Amino acid sequence: MFLYKYINLLTDNLLGFTNLMGWNYGKPALILLIPAGLSFYIFKSITYLIETGRGNIINIKFVNAALYISYFPAIMAGPIDKPNNLINQFDRKVSFDYERVTDSLKIILWGFFSKVVIADRLSPVTSRIFSDLNSYNGIYMVIGVLLFTVQIYCDFSGYSYIAYGFSKFIGIDVINNFKRPYLSKSIAEFWKRWHISLSKWLQEYIFLPLSYSIARILMERKINIRIDYASYIIASLITMIVCGLWHGANITFAIWGLYFGILLVLSLLFKKTRRALKSKFHINNANPFISLSKIMFTFLLVSISWIFFKSDTLKEIGQIFSNIFSWSGIINNSNGSGIIKNILKTYGLSYKELYLSIVFIAVLLTVDILQERFNIFERIKKQNKLIRWSLYYALLISVIFFGAYNSQQGFIYQQF
């Protein structure tokens, strides 16, 4: 993984150092095609070795160990299951179960809806915006960031639903990698809902060992600070930077991880302040307005993070933020239809594409909100046959006729 993903970053930094010293060397050409799912192979291999070392895995057949590492539905973008969760299922006899098969097909269908109907429909728009930053500013740049926020969620969760559904279809239970992350009320909660298997992996194999080691070192040296705070802060920052660099050998990914690390640290440092304010102003967390405010604020913070994630250079990051706050000459027509025409012209969209995108995103949001309250798939199963099959066919027709199949879009996370 180091050779494929990080050798060029190391080479660039070494050449930068030698140039500062007055030694000029040409940059060696090393262009390697990264194998699909390389990071997930590596993470699963590391997990297997650690769990074996801990004594949690014994007497496992080689073929099952190999199948765990290369389990094909999850190899492109996860999830990263624990070995025992998968391996113990490989030798299990599975008989045909009509309910399991139909449930899995519904999940797969929802995954395709998220991917080809929403994510791939938005992809040409976001690609156009982020590849030509000089042409977009103000509200158009803000919309571009928000659209990418929706796109990456639908792209990644779409794959995860397909992998989850296909695994269920063949009788294998894998971890559900997403739990409506954009309805989180804090950054900490977001990471419990987004890429859940990676979050658990980072917590168990990096954050916890690191925080324990830091706490032990601080205790041995008898440093007069809050050891629990210090260990959490240092471990959080390092873990999230590692998380960023796992996505790619680029300073922008490191900043993306550091950004989340700083937000987690700030949340800890201001925990007492938040409690005091709640007590002073009698703020009730159960209040719908308070809950909505938390969700919107967290969504805003996460949306900002995707600017770092999407950018290739520090210059691009700076330009995007500069464009967002540049509103001069954006909208000359205050009439609503004039604004819509400007947006359509700017993004190269038709009215039909705009309305379809709005409708499908609204469907996604509605399903996520309802899913927070109850299992929507189970609720639909209890409806009468006409309503039930009308919904299924509506979803299928949307995938067949409104999917963006001409865009030739892969999955965003397959590159990692």
Is position 411 within any domain?
Answer: no
Tell me what the mean pLDDT of segment 255-277 comes to. 92
More confident call, 325 vs 41: 325
Same domain, 192 and 280: yes
Name the residue with tokens 């695994």: 167
Same domain, residue pair 314 and 336 = no
The mean pLDDT of 217-223, rounded to a whole number, is 79
**What does the block give as tokens for 403?**
């999917």
**416 inside domain:** no
Any domain includes 138: yes
**211, 320: one domain:** yes
Query: Catalytic residue positions?
Result: 247
Range of the domain at 301: 187-324
Same domain, residue pair 207 and 244:
yes
DSSP secondary-structure letter at 224? S
Tell me whether residue 294 is in a domain.
yes
pLDDT score at 15: 58
Half-sphere exposure of 134 toward its Cβ, with a 13 Å CA cutoff? 0
Please state whether the peptide bond connecting residue 35 to the residue before it is cis, i.e. omega within 30 degrees of 0.
no
| Domain identity same for 318 and 353 | no
Q: Answer positive or negative: Cα dihedral of 177, 400, 403, 149.
A: negative
pLDDT for residue 59: 78
Query: Given 266, 292, 324, which residue is the final one in a domain?
Result: 324
Cβ atoms within 10 Å of 13's Cβ, excluding its own: 11
Residues 6+ apart with CB under 8 A from 211: 231, 232, 234, 235
pLDDT class for 272, splitting at 50, 70, 90?
confident
Which residues are within 8 A (CB) of 324 and not within 5 positions of it... i.e. 6 or more apart? 137, 138, 141, 142, 145
User: Residue range 324-337: average pLDDT?
Assistant: 59
Same domain flag for 281 and 392:
no
Report d(CA 231, CA 243) in Å as an integer: 18
Whether residue 235 lies inside any domain: the answer is yes
- Has residue 412 been placed in a domain? no
pLDDT tier at 276 (50, 70, 90 boundaries)? confident
Q: What's the domain count of the chain?
A: 3
- 5-9, 107-111, 401-405: least confident range: 5-9
pLDDT of residue 24: 61
24-28, 52-56, 93-97, 394-398: the lowest-pLDDT one = 24-28
Tally of CA atoms within 13 A in the half-sphere of 246 that contains its CB: 21
Tell me the helix, strand and coil percentages in the chain, rounded to 5: 75, 0, 25
Residues 115, 25, single domain; the answer is: no
Q: In the predicted model, what is the mean pLDDT of residues 45-53?
A: 89
Global pTM value? 0.86
Q: According to the model, what pLDDT value does residue 332 have? A: 46
User: Cα(6)–Cα(34) distance, rounded to whole angstroms?
Assistant: 11
Q: Which of 37, 56, 90 is the last residue of a domain?
A: 90
The arithmetic mean of pLDDT across residues 147-161, rounded, is: 94
State how far the Cα of 119 lies from the Cα of 300, in Å rounded to an integer: 19
Write out the DSSP string of 274-337: HHHHHHHTT--TT-HHHHHHHHHHHHHHHHHHHHHHH-SSHHHHHHHHHHHT--TTS----SHH
Which of 324, 348, 375 is where one domain is finished?
324
Same domain assignment for residues 202 and 295: yes
Are 214 and 298 in the same domain?
A: yes
Residue 131 has pLDDT above 80, yes or no: yes
Q: Is residue 320 domain-shared with residue 227, that is, in the same domain?
A: yes
268 with 233, same domain: the answer is yes
Q: What is the pLDDT of residue 282?
A: 78
414 within some domain = no
Please state the φ and ψ torsions of residue 77, each to the nearest 5 degrees: -155, 35
Q: What is the pLDDT of residue 287?
A: 86
Residue type for 384, please? N
User: Average of pLDDT values for 145-174?
Assistant: 93
Residue 415 lies in a domain: no
265 and 287 in a common domain:
yes
Least confident of 31-45, 48-62, 369-383: 31-45
* C-beta neighbour count of 253 within 10 angstroms: 20
DSSP-derived secondary structure letter, 247:
H
- pLDDT of residue 115 exceeding 70, the answer is yes
Contact 65, 87 (CB under 8 A): yes
Give the integer Cα–Cα distance in Å for 161 and 77.
Answer: 11
Given a cut of 90, is residue 281 above it in pLDDT?
A: no
